[in-house]
Amino acid sequence: MFDRGFLLTNFFIIDSGYILARIYGDGFAARSLNILDYIRQRVLRVVPSHLVVIGVLAAMVAVAAAVGIRPSNPQWFDWAQLPAQAALLQAYGVPGGQGWNAPTWTLSALLGCYLLLPWICRLIWRRRPWLIVAGAVGLLILADCASRAWLGDPIYRLPFRHGFLRALPLFLLGVAAALFGARVYIPPRLAAMAGIVALGVLVCAQVIGTTALLSLLLLTVMIWAAGATPVARPSRLIEHLGLMSFAIFLTNEVVRILWFGVFDAIGQAGWSSDVRWAIWTAGLASAFIGAAIFRYAFDRPVQARLNPPRRPPQAPGVSAERPIA
């Protein structure tokens, strides 16, 4: 499971394409949304929180160095690597950006995808949904073949410096799923069944082997199925966890570094396996606690001030055209 964690990163990228296209796709296609307002909204959603978190991490490392505590893996805290990451340029081949708050390469890559979304929606939103879905799947397969041939890695495991090349086909897969969901009506019960079957096939595929491309397509089906299935019993807990997901993504690496860094500094010689697992489990809980503090003490109030939500021109996911039966 840990070895295939890259599938969850790719799931996040596909899901980002799906959600943004469901929210903004019709408005972009109808040219009723101001693109500059959209870009401003996306940048303000990501950049202020990112800069605060990377600043806190840099301060932690600097203070630790000042009191004589060195990281156990100093290569991941090279100050020369920090500027590219702070500027979110690491996914575009810019030197630097390694280590530190490493997961932010996806934010770097997705910012480029966000900027392209208005023109992507204008290009595809009025075309046949099945054709767009087939095109997105074909593009993913072609991109994977090209990536293996020219860069030596599959598209879904490209290194950070090629992050945008990795993210764009996956993002487009999510956009295609959003177009299909907005334009093609599938009975909710049938959609839910498709999602459950996709989950079952995904589990079987993981037992057989990595089967990464198939897994990505199955994850896309699950995302589409979830979006096509009405919520039967709303849950405030799940709602808050969903709203907190960006904070978890942004802060979990920093919390991990702090949590396990403290125990590394204390020294763990002679500690039993049970104690180590207890520390690991508590570390997982600390990631949620740290994200909740960041979300409700900083991210939410700052976003409410800098980036208040605007009413979309129509309900998310409701197409201006009648759905195709």
Residue range 248-270, pLDDT digits in tens: 999 999 999 999 888 887 777 67
pLDDT < 50 positions in the chain:
313-325
pTM over 0.85: yes
Cα 153 to Cα 145: distance, rounded to the nearest angstrom: 9
Round to whole Å and give the CA distance between 224 and 239.
19
Does residue 16 lie within any of the structural domains?
yes
Give the C-alpha distances (Å, rounded to integers) separating 173 from 166, 177, 196, 267, 317: 12, 6, 20, 46, 16
Q: Give a yes or no: residue 311 inside a domain.
A: no
**pLDDT score at 311:** 59
For residue 243, the model assigns a pLDDT of 87
Alpha carbon separation from 293 to 97, 297, 300 (Å, rounded): 26, 6, 10
Q: What is the pLDDT of residue 270?
A: 76
For 166, the domain range is 6-184+231-306
Domain contains 258: yes
Two structure tokens written together for 92: 């575009």
Domain contains 284: yes
Q: How many domains does the chain have?
A: 1
Q: For residue 323, is it within any domain?
A: no
Q: Is residue 219 part of a domain?
A: no
Give the C-alpha separation, 192 to 224, whole Å.
Answer: 10
- Confirm whether 212 is domain-assigned: no
Q: Please report whether residue 82 resides in a domain.
A: yes
- pLDDT of 318 reads 41
